[in-house]
Amino acid sequence: MSSGSKNVGIMAIEVYTPSTFVLQSKLEEHYGVAQGKYTIGLGQEGIGLCGDVEDINSLALTVVKSLMEKYNIDPNTVGRLEVGTETLVDKSKSTKTVLMSLFPGNTDIEGATVVNACYGGTAALLNAFTWVESDGWDGRYAIVVAADIAAYAKGPARPTCGAGAVAVLVGRDAPLAFNPRERATHAAHVWDFFKPDHTVEYPTVDGALSQVCYYQAIEDVYQRLAQNVKKARGENSNDQPFDSESPDYWVFHAPYNKLVQKSYGRMFLIDARRRRHEESEEKKESDTANPLEEWLTKPIEETYSDKALERALKTVSAKAYEQRFNDSNSASKLNGNTYTASVFIGLASLVDKAGSRGDLSPGKTIGVFSYGSGALATMYRLHVREPTEQSTFTVAKMAEALKLTERLAKREEVHPGELDMALDTRARMHGAGAPYTPVYPTVGRLFPGTYYLKEIDAKWRRVYERVPLDAKMEPHGTSLAPESVLRMADRDPLPEDGAKKQKV
């Protein structure tokens, strides 16, 4: 049962990704690294590009407007709008307030912008679930927006860039229902990834620590989710214990695909250690064929950098991983890291793939793991169901409206050097002061219906316009930026860290 008899959950979902991308295989050649370093080492295939013509507000405007148009949502039927992002363009005025331009005449909309690395969107979603489930709900929908631009300085982290936005409609009698008793949250104080320097977009990252923090978070919430599922079922339930293979599908926060695969393997280690703890002494002595035997009693903190264990976990989890993650991982592998939008793009990818095949049928469940550095994480479960009181929102209609695979295929592949150009224009904008006119890419390269930043005026106010829905895109292969921009980049290259002195 999900949220009692109310079946609160996700009614619809929409995704926006940039119109251009670079291939990771060509980026390997461009940066002169070993073949397979990004495609195999990270498990990634492409990176969506985001220059200075698009910012966090324009991404959010695009995806919310698209959601409302596709599902014919009356702005007055929305009573909550909340945004999760870590890509801030203003320390005071939030993206949520910019989105209010899409709701003329409706000022009665609760919600704000939530910030905590890659976790803000999940916090916003849980807030929306709670609001719709509560006695204070007024019958209107909630919209949750998760959007980010993942930008890194030149170096080993740059191949984990990306950009994207997701809008989720939340209501009752949902096709993807949430049970508030089936969740667990992890919160800790760690310095794995943070953005203390406001003169640049780029984060300060401790890569090794970040991976360990991700592992620790998933192990914590996974074990407690299993306990919470047991409690929700009741002590007398004869159902099998919740484990890594209980959900029909999994969706993980995916900064890069290889981390998802390794982390799912860690859940198999937790399963094996839990079973060992519950076994009799006689069974423990006889169970010598377990491929994880040597790690079952080893202190868990000593296992995080164990490469032999990593290989063993990959082997034992391989089949289940392929069955449960192939669909949800697909879009992020093609588009790259999207921070707080990542787990939502994974869910949309699953709906697009499995929903289109008819495999996401009533009765199936989806395990979801969201992680944000610093650190906050939540694991929860969604239940696929057939709505009983409305027919507007179903899994099949979500998949039909998304067409995510088809839309990703329509993007334009560009030269890998364009990734540096896109990020350089963003860095220049970040330090240029006001007024400012964006230059990259030209508006004609954006998808019809895309909002873009037209200018930052002398008072630092951002002005947005929308590419008409019937606009014709410029042909592929032409320059993404005016010649003047290309000449400026050659004449005045940025330092390696992308920083420019602030104008005084």
Domain-embedded: residue 454: no
Structure tokens given for 76: 């007055």
Q: In the prediction, which pLDDT does 1 show? A: 40
CA–CA separation, 487 vs 483, rounded Å? 6
Into how many domains does the chain fold? 1
Residues paired with 382 in a beta bridge: 178, 366
Q: By three-state DSSP, how is residue 366 classified?
A: strand
Which is the catalytic residue, given 14, 86, 201, 219?
86
Structure tokens given for 291: 């491929």
Structure tokens given for 159: 């191949």
Band (pLDDT 50/70/90 cuts) for residue 474 is: confident
Instruction: Answer yes or no: 118 catalytic.
Output: yes
Residues paired with 384 in a beta bridge: 176
Q: In the prediction, which pLDDT does 3 show? A: 45
**Amino acid (one-letter) located at 227:** Q
Domain-embedded: residue 274: yes
**Amino acid (one-letter) located at 44:** Q
Band (pLDDT 50/70/90 cuts) for residue 503 is: very low
- DSSP code per residue over 457-475: -TTS-EEEEE--TTPPPPP
Q: In the prediction, which pLDDT does 289 show? A: 73
Domain-embedded: residue 289: yes
Instruction: Answer yes or no: 476 catalytic.
Output: no
Structure tokens given for 39: 């495609």
Q: In the prediction, which pLDDT does 240 show? A: 85
Domain-embedded: residue 441: no
Domain-embedded: residue 3: no
Domain-embedded: residue 422: no
DSSP class of residue 41 equals T
Annotated binding site for CoA: 210, 258, 262
**Amino acid (one-letter) located at 201:** E
Which is the catalytic residue, given 50, 118, 161, 213?
118
Proportion of the chain above pLDDT 90, given as a percent: 86
Annotated binding site: 210, 258, 262
Band (pLDDT 50/70/90 cuts) for residue 496 is: low
At 172, which CATH number? 3.40.47.10
CB 339 within 8 A of CB 86: yes
Question: pTM for the whole thing?
Answer: 0.93
Residue 494 reports pLDDT greater than 60: no
81-107 burial: b if 16+ Cβ within 10 Å, else e: bbbbbbbbbeeeebbbebbeebbeebe
Which is the catalytic residue, given 45, 50, 54, 253?
253
Domain-embedded: residue 74: yes
CB 168 within 8 A of CB 345: no
Residue 288 reports pLDDT greater than 70: no
CA–CA separation, 391 vs 316, rounded Å? 41
**289 is in which domain, residue-wise?**
9-412
Domain-embedded: residue 470: no
Instruction: Answer yes or no: 496 catalytic.
Output: no
Q: What is the mean pLDDT of the chain?
A: 92
Residues paired with 9 in a beta bridge: 171, 177
Band (pLDDT 50/70/90 cuts) for residue 504 is: very low
CA–CA separation, 78 vs 73, rounded Å? 8
